Amino acid sequence: ILNVEQSPQSLHVQEGDSTNFTCSFPSSNFYALHWYRWETAKSPEALFVMTLNGDEKKKGRISATLNTKEGYSYLYIKGSQPEDSATYLCALNSGYSTLTFGKGTMLLVSP
Amino acid sequence: DSGVTQTPKHLITATGQRVTLRCSPRSGDLSVYWYQQSLDQGLQFLIQYYNGEERAKGNILERFSAQQFPDLHSELNLSSLELGDSALYFCASSDRLAGGYNEQFFGPGTRLTVL
């Protein structure tokens, strides 16, 4: 059983704050790492797929880094806005057809 | 909008009953995945179908079953329902069987409440 851990479990920041959270995974089972953004009452939406050690991806104010040797990925949000409030999920693809998800980090951004 | 549709959106039923959840994948996607999201749990993978055939099984109970039809839509059947089966059930689809990055596109989910 693959263990994908996310921390913190939840986070409450003020508008304009920058924030980051962590996804840890077993480095020996790595093929790709996915980040999803899940807003309440909506579907999880893909943010990034990361495959190479040292990968850095960016979409607007959101960016992610990957360290496959030590088994972690960071997601950063610069200048958080209320519309960034969501649960951020990471999922490990270990080379098979399925994804193993972490429990997510719930972010609340207050105006 | 991911292009994946799920019906119904909400379902309320009693213990011991049986329900069917339906999913239509994105146009052209052959793989369908079912996940269960319970309170305090991450998305738990249940089962995968590819082009009509079962391809991978996760933490799916024997009381649950699924199938994928020739038109590629899929149904998840939950029987002898228990209170603990109350959860959000997601369907996702992908254009591949395995390998590659296997990006999955999620439907809006079905909220099942067992009373």
Tally of CB atoms within 10 A around B70: 7
Give per-residue pLDDT as tens, B44-88. Answer: 999 999 999 999 898 899 999 999 999 999 999 999 999 999 999
Mean pLDDT, chain A, whole residue set: 92
Min Cα distance A86 → chain B (Å) is 15
Q: Which of A41-55, A71-85, A93-107, B97-111 has the lowest mean pLDDT?
A: B97-111
Tell me if chain B has a CB within 8 Å of the CB of A62. no
Min Cα distance A18 → chain B (Å) is 25
- Give the whole-angstrom CA distance, residue B81 versus residue B11: 12
Kindly indicate the confidence band of residue B99, based on its pLDDT and cuts at 50, 70 and 90. Answer: low
> Are the beta carbons of B43 and A89 separated by less than 8 Å?
yes
Question: Which DSSP category does B11 fall into?
Answer: E
B10-13 vs B64-68, strand pairing mode: unpaired
